[in-house]
Amino acid sequence: MDFITGKQMPRRTFLRGAGATVALPFLEAMVPAGMGRSRVSAAAPDRTRLICIEEVHGLAGCNNFGASRHLFAPATTGRDFTLVPDNPLSALDPYRDYLTIISHTDVRNAEAFALPEIGGDHFRSSAVFLTQSHPRQTNGSDLWAGTSMDQLYAKRFGQGTPFPSMQFCIENLDQAGGCTYNYSCAYTDTISWASPNEPLPMIRDPRVAFDMLFGSGGSAGDRAARRETRRSILDWIAGEVERTRRQLGAGDRARLDRYLDNVREIERRIQAVEAHNRSGDARDLPDAPAGVPDSFTEHMKLMFDIQVLALQTDMTRITSFKTGRDAQNRVFPECESKQPFHPASHHGNREERIMEFNKICKFRVGQLPYFLEKMKSTMDGEASLLDKALIIWGSPMADPNIHNHRRCPLILLGRASGALNGNVHLRAEDGTPMANVMLTLLRRLGLEDLKTFGDSTGEFSLAG
């Protein structure tokens, strides 16, 4: 036992100070007395973490030319597949043992069902991604989509955590009023629906997310006052940290120190972003909050880091992450392409323009390895978070040039606590709904009694 007093530390242990509450990660001291080191993994939280990540605008590999160049789906199925250098998924090759590629599934509920809906694909697609349901076209309060898969899982298995689920985003979202084609902006601005008429807000500002995790012990005024002192949140709990360290064995002390160092480093980066954005220098995102980096890459990294902390401490087991907003014209200075995102996606089926759009796709998918490495290197008992996680990455759109929703990109990452083996490319039969995959995953996650999901027609075999 690594708790030198011989007592068991509660799994949900918090260190508290003025306006600060810091949850601890899993430590060996949390193993019930008598279980021994060999049972550490059994004592760690065993519920699979679910992370859902949406990519808007599909991929360059989802049209005939892109498919011929294998810019998404590899040439072969099964385990002996190759990711060509131009394939955005090639950035994930070092993690192929955790990678399941599922090609050729359809998201037909994102299509227009009636004449007035034609052209409104960008303004309903996000609402379809995790619900696989067709949104009601409305600018009013009579919203109707479906309950998203992350929320079905949260209702069943997330209620025992401080946050049953957490929702994050990168771009500016505004869930008020109407967008284009008579669709409410609520359909565009979230991927998480607690019920068919209850869209959930998403957090864009890393500071807001950080304070949710570590500042919930005080009021907004307390947190603001603490930030004005420019002291770290850890300074306010220093006494609690030292008292806790004295009760731990050497291994747990090292784990605690690594965790707190990581918290401090993330906080330092947020503070640096805020200081830069308040300096008066011109910003690339002038309307963004001070805590939001102008750099897409740095913003993605911070939001990934915060999700890892939330999952590591079991503050939540379910996150959703919306990495873009449909029809946005953002240019990415760090990317090889300097074309705006949305115009680049309308490539006119010209080969050189498809490859130009593919540069943006590679850049955006290229953010994932940072998250995967963090998850892989973060232990939860005797297994990593990546082993215990199911990460769903995909898009409700396929070829954005024609707003097509057939043969959409979808990948799974992680081992899902043994439910996935990884290192496989599975190609669906023509006409297979993406909802079939999601139904299968939800059942494997413990919702065995779920009969259907969205427009599912049955389960999808994950064997390969």
Mean pLDDT within 160-188: 88
Q: Would you state the pLDDT for residue 179?
A: 80
CA distance 327 to 188: 10
Determine the topology of domain 45-199+292-444 in CATH.
Alkaline Phosphatase, subunit A (3.40.720)
Tokens 């160049």 map to which residue?
69
CA distance 440 to 429: 16
Q: Would you state the pLDDT for residue 231?
A: 75
3-class state of residue 293 by DSSP: coil
* Average pLDDT for the chain: 92
Mean pLDDT within 98-118: 98
Q: Would you state the pLDDT for residue 225?
A: 64
CA distance 381 to 392: 23
CA-CA-CA-CA dihedral for 456, 411, 400, 337, to nearest 10? 170
Q: Would you state the pLDDT for residue 69?
A: 98
How confident is residue 459, by pLDDT bands cut at 50, 70 and 90?
very high
Q: Which helix (H) or strand (E) holds 320?
A: strand 318-322
Q: pTM for the complete prediction?
A: 0.95
Q: Would you state the pLDDT for residue 176?
A: 58
Q: Would you state the pLDDT for residue 1?
A: 33
CA angle 305, 309, 314 (to 5 degrees): 150
**Is residue 267 within 8 Å of residue 232, measured between CB atoms?**
yes
Q: Would you state the pLDDT for residue 180?
A: 86
337 φ/ψ angles, rounded to the nearest 5 degrees: -90, 135
Tell me the HSE value of 10 on the side-chain side, using a 13 A CA sphere. Answer: 5
Structure tokens at 237: 């709990």
Q: Domain limits of the chain?
A: 1-39+205-288, 45-199+292-444
Structure tokens at 134: 């067709």
Share of the chain above pLDDT 90, in %: 85
Q: Would you state the pLDDT for residue 232?
A: 87
**Is residue 164 within 8 Å of residue 155, measured between CB atoms?**
yes
- Locate all alpha helices (DSSP H) within 327-367, ordered by sequence: 341-345, 351-365
